[in-house]
Amino acid sequence: MKREYFGTDGIRGRVGEYPMTAETVLKLGWAAGMVLARQGNREVLIGKDTRVSGYLFESALEAGLASAGINSRMLGPMPTPAVAYLTSTFRAAAGIVISASHNPFYDNGLKFFSTEGTKLPDETELEIEAMMNEPMTTVDSSDLGRAMRIDDASGRYIEFCKSTFPQGLRLGGMKIVVDAANGAAYDIASRVFDELGATVISIGAAPNGVNINKECGATSPDHLRSHVLLERADLGVALDGDGDRLIMVDHRGEIVDGDEILYVLARSRHASGVMNGGVAGTLMTNLALEHALDGMGVPFKRANVGDRYVLETLRAEGWELGGENSGHIICLDRVTTGDAIVAALAVLAVMNETGESLSRLRADMQLYPQVLLNVPVRDKSVIEQNSAIDEAVRQAEDSLGDAGRILLRPSGTEPLVRVMVEGKVANDVQRICEQVARVVQDAAA
């Protein structure tokens, strides 16, 4: 069955445009409720980020669920990983997050979690899609769902985050700048680090409904960088709007991305003898991480782009650590999904235990230069069975050898082919990427 609503990370779109309209979200709430009701559990948790449209979709979603006889427990602004955790601890049928993650405020979306705190199984998503084609009905008035608010949700999640930090360790003496992207973790993130003893400078913590991710947070780390240098802090922590992405900044003002965070965590686990298996990355993971892990004897596998696919790879292999260079870091021994706060605490634990700065911990792996060019095309299948493109890629691979790689990937949402080249020499990488992009452009003309 072809999916009409669910993508790799739930449902997302511009507010007021299909599918992110009040009418469609109402129907989605009903469809999800009807599917979940078959399982016998009639409790669903609903969280959201700080977008002004969250009020609109929260009401529509709750009404749709109620019409299917499902009770809603409202969490208010809450990070995506917090909803995943709370869904599991409350033994709810599902958790739903109203968020468009790192997108601007004028977008919004829905993310669904199962009772285990993981993404919904494919078969459940397909059942919801099929139910969307049915006429909407309402259960008997005596069976209508009710809505109630969970007042201590933030406190529960804060305590959980702190529980993932090693017993006996504290962050006393550390100055940390925390950028919450004016998003769902605007209050929670700084409280976690503060309660563990750090001196916290909080930025990106004044949401007004329209400033989420705006020139701040994990997608704009220069904002954090400037504050780390100004405050002479030990490091900076940047989350995205829904709190599942992490980008860090060391005391020198250098940005530390998801690949480097994975390296720090993998090296520490390997040195301590607690590395369970290998590391899962994506097609976009920097080749330097793969080479560094190989040098340690740690297996590495690439998944398709998207934390959903990283998680699938981890489960298939029985591994615990994976993520994306964009900052989705999954520590399956602690959480069921990407969690920026938990990942940051894991890095801080390594710093605490080794006495080394973040700058020193990431110094032994230098990321290879990477160039990404987007080529507009009418037909994204142009990269399939095209002799000119195949020859250009072959020549590029010969030129790069083992010290680089090339990737052609059609965009999942736009009429684009993405050409990515990485290698050890920046000028060579730029030149080769431009050459291949021109061949793709000519073939698409």
What does the alpha-carbon distance between residue 57 and residue 41 come to, in Å, rounded to a whole number?
23
The pTM score is 0.93
Give CA–CA dist 175/200, Å, rounded.
6
> Would you say the CATH fold of 257-339+355-361 matches that of 172-255?
yes
Query: CA 58 to CA 119: how far, in whole Å?
Result: 20
Q: Is domain 11-151 annotated with CATH 3.40.120.10?
A: yes
Give the residue, 380 or 65, on which the prediction is more confident.
65
The gap from C-alpha 132 to its chain's centroid, in whole angstroms, comes to: 27
> What percentage of residues in the chain have a pLDDT greater than 70?
99
> Which residues, other chains included, contact 56 with Cβ-Cβ below 8 Å and sequence gap of 6+?
15, 22
CATH 3.40.50.300 fits 370-444, yes or no: no
pLDDT confidence of residue 297 = 97
Average of pLDDT values for 51-71? 98
Single-letter code of the amino acid located at 295: G
- The residues, any chain, with a CB within 8 Å of residue 418's CB and separated by 6 or more, are 372, 373, 374, 375, 407, 408, 409, 410, 411
Catalytic residues: 101
Q: What is the mean pLDDT of residues 388-411?
A: 93
Query: Is residue 411 very low, low, confident or very high in pLDDT (cuts 50, 70, 90)?
Result: confident
Tokens of 343: 């990942």
- Judged by average pLDDT, the poorest of 41-50, 249-258, 306-315, 353-362 is 306-315
CATH number of 172-255: 3.40.120.10
Domain range list for the chain: 11-151, 172-255, 257-339+355-361, 370-444
**Residue 83 phi, psi dihedral angles, 5° rounding:** -65, -40
Q: Which helix (H) or strand (E) holds 347?
A: helix 340-354
Largest CA distance in the chain: 71
State the average pLDDT over residues 201-206: 98
E-strand ranges in 82-157 read: 94-98, 107-114, 147-149
Residues 6+ apart with CB under 8 A from 364: 267, 292
**Mean local confidence (pLDDT), 125-147:** 97
| Residue 414 in this model has a pLDDT that exceeds 90 | no
Give the phi and the psi of residue 199 in degrees, each rounded to 5: -85, 120
Query: Which amino acid makes up residue 3?
Result: R
Could you tell me which residues come within 8 angstroms of residue 51 by beta carbon, excluding any fewer than 6 positions away?
A: 15, 98, 99, 100, 105, 108, 209, 210, 212, 241
- Burial grade of 193 (CB within 10 A; 0-12, 13-18, 19 or more): buried
Confidence of residue 445 (pLDDT cuts 50, 70, 90): confident
| Fold that domain 257-339+355-361 belongs to in CATH | Alpha-D-Glucose-1,6-Bisphosphate; Chain A, domain 3 (3.40.120)
CB distance 350 to 264 below 8 Å: yes
pLDDT class of 84 with cuts at 50, 70, 90: very high
